Chain A
Amino acid sequence: MCHPAAAQNDKPLLMLQANGLECLRGERRLFRDLDFNLRSGGLLRIEGPNGSGKTSLLRMLCGLLSPNAGELRWNGTNIRKLGETYRSVLTYVGHSNGLKSDLNGIENLRLGEGIAGARIDAREAEDALARLGLAACADLPTRLLSQGQRRRVGLARLAFRARCPLWVLDEPFVALDAAVVPEISAMLSAHLERGGMVVYTTHQDVPIEAADHSSLRLG
């Protein structure tokens, strides 16, 4: 599941390819004939106005939504065929943060990672939250947190996802204050540095250090 070798090698070892993707939502066609290649260390920004299909595309990359035409390949194999193997290389932080509002930040992180099959202890969870400035409210139920703080808890799980090379992030910077944005962007750069890849959408222009930065415009 880990691919530390990718960082040392100059040759890209991992590749996500999209060939002729098409997305229909009801009667509307959001996009068609969409192609891209993403390699180890690659950062892909999806741009476009509201309703242009950015979230649908990200959900498609995760395998939650099946493309109406075209296919997605991970290292040359269709992601449908890979199933659990593909899900083990993937991390998705969606629009909803995936937090239980009755549990606190630490419990959310620990049990959330547990469900993803990894064991972390309370100390590690606390550190990850502290890094995003949540040390003071780590033991509050997340329903008492603000929108931005919940977003931070949702993003804190990235600290435990170095083993997953592909990060798919839907509007990671939304609702975040200026102080924490550089921290998230540093996490993303570090991930790219070790050979991971990141696909994200954003309406804010946040500088992320990346050797291989591309963008894709929808709509």
Chain B
Amino acid sequence: MTQRDMTSILQASEPNQTIVSATIENEASLRSAFAAIVRRDLLLAMRRRADVLTTLVFFVIVVSLFPLGIGPEINVLRVIGPGVLWVAALLAAMLALNRLFAGDYADGTLEQMALAPQPLSILVLGKVLALWLTTGLPLVLIAPLLGLQYDLPADSLVTLIASLALGTPVLGLIGAVGAALTLGSRGRGVLVSLLVLPLYVPVLIFGAGAVEATASGLDAGGHLSLLAALLLIAIVFAPLASAAALRIALD
């Protein structure tokens, strides 16, 4: 329903006017808060390009190390390719997690977010979206190029892109919960990995599984649907869990 529809309805029914206009106002401020946090984090990423590039370069290097270590055995490379690409994506996603809330926690902006009249979970979702746009999306786009090192056929590469596009946001969302839970604790970097990597296992299985299925001539639809389902579940629950953990960290 557009805002104009809402207005015409509320003109028709006077008594509900204040309630409906309050809803419109809330919705508008919710949207503007979401847009503001995404814009802020993208702007910060632009100002600190090195941080963004490290994730991508890490991914490229890890993926490229395997063919060098294993040697040019095309059959072996084809078999391990999807798994290596996906494991490297998990590790690269881990790298960015430590920065997700730490900066905001240190400079007091996290406090301001927690005190905003909008639900903190929406702001967390905005932060994860910005994180994905700066660290996840580049990874998705460069993955097919790296897949060529493993001699993956074209249809496998397409599935690889699709599985990474569905899977990497899940990594960010689950990671946000881990990052929020470990905020303010010592040895955070290692702790996040221990907490989050086991939770990444389903994403890894279905992600790499999708590419392997395509490579062996099967339909990847089932794996991709499960990844999409994981994404939907994570979009709903991960921001709520992260927000709760952040409030505990601020207490």
Q: Which A residues are within 8 Å of any B CB, using their own CB? A: 62-66, 84-85, 87-88, 90, 92, 94-103, 107, 110-119, 141
Contacts and interface: CB of A to CB of B under 8 A. Distances in A.
B35 interface: yes
B29 A98 contact: no
Interface in B172-205: none
Nearest to A90: B115
Nearest to A114: B36
B116 A117 contact: yes
B118 A84 contact: yes
A186 B107 CA distance: 27
Given A88-B117, A119-B32, A98 B107 contact: yes
A62 B36 contact: no
Contacts of A111: 36-37, 39-40, 43
Nearest to A92: B115
Contact of A100 (B29, B107, B119, B250): B107
Interface string B28-61: 0110110111011001100110000000000000
Contact of A64 (B33, B114, B118): B114
Contact of B29 (A85, A90, A107, A118): A118
B111 A115 contact: no
A99 B109 CA distance: 6
6 contacts: A97-B107, A98-B109, A100-B40, A111-B40, A118-B29, A118-B32
A97 B110 CA distance: 11
Contacts of B47: 102-103, 141
Contacts of A115: 33, 36-37, 40, 112-113, 116, 118, 123
Contacts of A100: 40, 44, 103, 107, 109
Nearest to B35: A114
A84 B119 CA distance: 7
B108 interface: yes
B251 interface: yes
Contact of B44 (A92, A97, A103, A112): A103
A141 B35 CA distance: 21
A101 B107 contact: yes
Contacts of B119: 84
B111 A102 contact: no
A97 B250 CA distance: 15
Nearest to B126: A115
Contact of B117 (A65, A87, A114, A141): A87
A155 B211 CA distance: 54
B249 to A, nearest CB: 10
A111 B104 CA distance: 14
A102 B40 CA distance: 10
Contacts of A88: 117
Contacts of A98: 107-109, 111-112
B38 to A, nearest CB: 10
Nearest to B110: A98
B43 A114 contact: no
A4 to B, nearest CB: 16
A135 B43 CA distance: 22
B251 A65 contact: yes
Contacts of B114: 64
Nearest to B117: A88
**Pairs A-B, 9 closest by C-beta atoms:** A114-B36, A96-B108, A117-B29, A88-B117, A98-B108, A102-B47, A111-B40, A98-B112, A116-B116
